[in-house]
Amino acid sequence: MRKIALTLLVLVAFALLWGEDSKQATIGWLSISKAESLSRANGKPMMVYIYSNGCAWCRKFVRKTLSDPNIVKLVNEKFVPTKVNLSSNKTVRFHSKTIKEKYLGRVFLVRGTPTTVFLQNADSIIAKLPGFINHNDFQLVLKYIGDGWYKDMTYKDFVESEKKLKSSK
């Protein structure tokens, strides 16, 4: 009887822990057409995550970087996020044109995945970041673009100022 009670207790504990983990916040991805219109309306930069099926680095970027709670919070607060699957034949609307999702890579001049593109007013490219980026470096990029520092200083100067700020604390 004690073994059964102990087993049930352990199972309940695991279920509770697993349930907590599944409630983790996620990025509020929008379709590219909704993201475009929202970015134009509210002035927030668009963050376009470009990936393809079967891309190991894309999966790692999602697992290690885009699921980090600090990254999720910054993306949801400061950007209009959208995803583009270069393996998809789905038809989407972007810049008043109907296009297959897989051809959007050409629009953004993407040569490989993963690539993250940041757009101002859904038009001009602020930055294009190819490849996997760890969560610490990506968080700096999100602050740099999301807080508008890219308008006043280079990324290199921004990183130096962040280092000085941290060392003075």
pLDDT in tens, 127-146: 999 999 999 999 999 999 99
Q: Which residue has the tokens 């099926």?
A: 53
105 vs 51: CA distance, rounded Å: 9
70: which residues sit within 8 A by CB, 6+ positions away? 135, 139
User: What pLDDT does residue 6 have?
Assistant: 43
C-alpha 92/C-alpha 73 separation (Å) is: 27
CA–CA dist 138, 132 (Å, integer): 9
pLDDT in tens, 94-107: 999 999 999 999 99
Domains in the chain: ranges and CATH = 22-167 (3.40.30.10)
Task: Label residue 80 by pLDDT band (50, 70, 90).
Answer: very high
pLDDT tier, 5 (very low <50, low <70, confident <90, very high otherwise): very low
Instruction: Give the three-state DSSP class for 48.
Output: strand
Residue 2: what pLDDT?
A: 56
pLDDT (mean) for 56-61: 98
- Do residues 75 and 47 lie in contact, with contact meaning Cβ atoms separated by under 8 Å? yes
Distance CA 51, CA 84 (A): 6
Q: Nearest 5°: CA angle at 64, between 60 and 70?
A: 145
What value does the mean pLDDT of the chain take? 89
